[in-house]
Amino acid sequence: MPSYTAPLRDMRFVMFDLLEAERDLAALPAFAGVDRDTIDAVLEEAARFASTVVQPLNAVGDIEGCRIDADGNVSAPPGFRDAYRQFGDAGWPALSCDPAFGGQGLPVLVNNRVYEMLNSANQAWLMYSGLSHSAYECLVAFGNEEQKRVYLPKIVSGEWSGTMCLTEAQCGTDLGLIKTRADAAGDGAYALTGTKIFISAGEHDCSENIIHLVLARLPDAPAGTRGISLFLVPKFLPDADGAPGARNTIRAGSLEHKMGIHGNATCVMNLDGARGWLIGEPHKGLAAMFVMMNSARLGVGMQSLGLAEMATQNAIAYARDRIQGRAATGPANPGKAADPIIVHPDVRRMLFTCKAHTEGGRALATWVAQLTDRAHAHPDPAVRAEANELIALLTPVVKAALTDNGFEVCNLAVQVLGGHGFIREWGMEQLVRDARINMIYEGTNGIQALDLLGRKVLHDGGARLGLLRKLVGAFLDVQAGDERMQAFTAPLRALDTELAAVSASVAADVGADPDALGAASTPYLRLLGHYVHAWLWARMAKLALDAPARDAFLEGKLATARFYFSKLLPETSALLAVIRSGPGSLMTLDAAAF
C-alpha cells in the first residue's frame, strides 16, 4: 500500500520563499493576525490528519465503493462517515470561511495547501465536502439574508454538505439544453421536477443534510442559457429551529459504476416536485453558478495536484528501493545483486517529469490562491481588480494543465513500478483511475481551452495576457545581468516573444475563420501552461542559486528546474507549429467520412 508524507518543506518554500506570503499577507488587514507560526501549525496538523485518518481509507473506498438501498439511501464506504465527522469537529471546513458565518477567517493560501494534502490522501473522500466550499461561495455572493442565516453556518461547520446539480442526460457542456423545470409553489418556494445525472456526493450518509444547488427553468424562461435559474434544494427542509426537518422529494435513483473515485457516490438524482428556493435573480442562474464553477475548477486542479504528489513520492521511493540491472557507468551498488533503478537515465526522466509537474503545479496553484486572497481582501481596488483578472486568465490553465499533467504523472508512476504499478496492491493504478475524471468534470479540458483562448485572451484584446506578460517581463529584466540565469531566462524570453506573436496571429485568424479558435485552443492552453511554469521554475532556480548554502532540497529544486527547461519546455516548439498550422486540416472532411 502507498504511504503519504505531506510535502511541507516544498509548501513552505513556495509560500514563504517563492511567493513571499508573509509580506503579501501583511498588506491584507483581514489577515493581520496570521503569521508564519500560525500557518505552520495549521499545516502540520492537516498533514497529520491527512496521512493518519484520511489516507488509510483510500484503498477501502476504492474496493468497497458506495451502496444504495431500495429507498435511494446511499452509504459511503466504511470509515468515511467517521472521518468526515472528525474533519468537521476539527474545524477544517471552516478554515477560510468568513467569521460572520462561523469561519476561521484564514487565507485561501492556507486552505488550498490543506486541500492539496487531503486530495493526496483520498480524493473520493474529500469530494463529500469538496463542493461545499463552492456552494458556500455561491451563497455568500448570491444568497439572500435568510438563505445565508439558515444555511451558511451549517455548511461552514461541515454539518451540512453541498452539491452542484447541472448535468442532465441530454446536456453536459451545453447547459442551454436543460429541461428540469421549476414551478412557483405560491409561498415563495418552487417545485422542481426533472432528472440530474453525474451528481458527485449527490446522496450519502456523511453529513446530516445535503444542500443541492440546482439549475432549472422557470415556466416563462427564454430558451437556451438565458433562461436558466439557480435553486437551493435541501435534502431535508430546515425546520423552524434550522434543524433538518421533512425529507424533500429529491432522491438518488442509482449510482454510476465508474473508472475511479469509487469511494464517492456519483448519483442520478430525481427531483419529483422537490421544494426549492431561487438563488439570485430569475433566469440569471448561470452567472451565479459560475461563481461556484470557477471555485470548483480551481479545486479540480488541486485534486490532480494532490494525486500527482502521491504518485511522485511513491514512485521515487520505489525507484530508490527496487534493485534491477546495473548502471550504464558501472555498478553503483557492487555489494548487492543489482543497482536501484533510480540509476537509470530513463527512470530519472520519468521521476523528474513527475517532480517538475508536481512542484511546478504546486507553485502555480499556490500563486492563484495568493491572488484569491488579494482579490478578496486587498484594500486597494486596483490591486483587487488586477488579481481578479489574473485569476480569470489562470483558472482554465490550473484546471486543464494541472489535470493533464497530473494524469501523466500518475501514469508515469505506474510505469516506474512496472507490473507492480498495474496491480491494486501498490495503489498507483488507483491514482490513474481517480485522476482521469479531473480532465472531464467541471468543464472538460477542451472547454477550458476554449474559455482561455476565447473569453480570457482574445475577448479583451489580450489585456489579461498583457498583465501576465508584464510580470514575466519584469522578472526577465531584473535577471538580465545574472549569467547563471541565462539557461532559464533566454528560453523564457524567447517563449514570451513567440507567445505574443502567436496570440496576435490567432486573433487575426479567428477574425477570418471562427473555427480557428477551436483549432488553436488546446495547444494554446498547453503553451500558456508552459509559459507560466517556465517563469515559476526560473524563479525557483534563482532562489536555489542565491541560497547561501544549498541543501539536498534546493539541489533537487535546481536540478528539476534544469530538467524542466531541457526536457519538457521543448514541447512548446511543437505546440507553436501546431497552432500555426490552423484549422484547415481539421475542418474539410465530411462528418460521414470519418
Of 70 and 591, CB closest to a second copy: 591
Find the binder of a second copy among 228, 449, 465, 532 (CB under 8 A).
449
Strand partners, 165: 214
What's the Rg (C-alpha) of the chain?
A: 24
| Block residue for cell numbers 509580506 | 23
Minimum distance, C-beta of residue 238 to a second copy, in the bound complex (Å): 31
Phi/psi for 543 (5° steps) reads -60, -40
Helical pair 108-121 and 36-49, crossing angle rounded to 10 deg: 20
240 alpha-carbon distance from chain centroid: 37
Binding to a second copy by CB under 8 A, coded x per residue (else -) over 132-151, reads --------------------
Q: 31 to 90, contacts with a second copy by CB under 8 A?
A: none
Residue closer to a second copy by CB (options 127, 150) is 127
Amino acid in the structure at residue 310? M
Q: Does the protein bind a second copy through residue 334 (CB under 8 A)? A: no
Q: Does 556 bind a second copy (CB under 8 A)?
A: yes
CB of 582 to a second copy, least distance (A): 8
Sole binder of a second copy in the list 8, 68, 440, 547 (CB under 8 A):
440
Scan residues 339-368 and list those touching a second copy (CB under 8 A): 340, 342-352, 355
Question: By C-beta, is 148 or 455 nearer to a second copy?
Answer: 455
**Which member of 515, 543, 545, 547 binds a second copy (CB under 8 A)?**
515
Give the count of beta carbons closer than 10 Å to the beta carbon of residue 191. 17
CB of 483 to a second copy, least distance (A): 18
CB 356 within 8 A of CB 564: yes
Report the nearest approach of a second copy to the CB of residue 512 (Å): 12
Residue 91, amino acid: G
Residues 6+ apart with CB under 8 A from 536: 18, 360, 363, 364, 367
- Binding flag, residue 445, a second copy (CB under 8 A): yes
As to burial, measured by CB atoms within 10 angstroms (0-12 exposed, 13-18 middle, 19+ buried), residue 37 is exposed
Q: Is 511 in the site for a second copy (CB under 8 A)?
A: no
Binding residue (CB under 8 A) for a second copy from 357, 378, 436, 539: 436
CB of 79 to a second copy, least distance (A): 20
CB neighbour list of residue 551: distance below 8 Å, 6 or more residues apart: none
Residue 229 contacts by C-beta under 8 Å, 6 or more apart in sequence? 182, 215, 216, 217, 218, 221, 278, 281, 282, 283, 284, 285
Which residue, 59 or 110, is less far from a second copy as judged by CB?
Answer: 59
Q: Give residues 265-304 in contact with a second copy (rule: CB under 8 A).
A: 266
Q: Which is nearer to a second copy, 357 or 436 (CB)?
A: 436
Which residue stretches of 53-122 are H helix?
58-64, 80-89, 108-121
Contact between 259 and a second copy by CB under 8 A: the answer reads: yes
For a second copy, the binding residue among 519, 527, 534, 540 (CB under 8 A) is 519
Among 439, 458, 472, 495, indicate the residue that binds a second copy (CB under 8 A): 439
Rounded to whole angstroms, how far apart are CA atoms 485 and 18?
16
Q: Using the rule CB under 8 A, is 258 a contact of a second copy?
A: yes
> Catalytic residues, which ones?
442
Note whether 314 binds a second copy by CB under 8 A. no
Alpha-carbon distance 560 to 356, whole Å?
A: 6
Residues 199-238 as x/- pattern, contact with a second copy by CB under 8 A:
----------------------------------------
The DSSP call for residue 222 is P
Q: Which of residues 155-194 bind a second copy (CB under 8 A)?
A: 167, 171-174, 176-177
- Of 120, 127, 124, nearest to 410 by C-alpha is 120
Instruction: Note whether 256 binds a second copy by CB under 8 A.
Output: yes
Q: Answer whether 438's CB lies under 8 Å from 407's CB.
A: yes
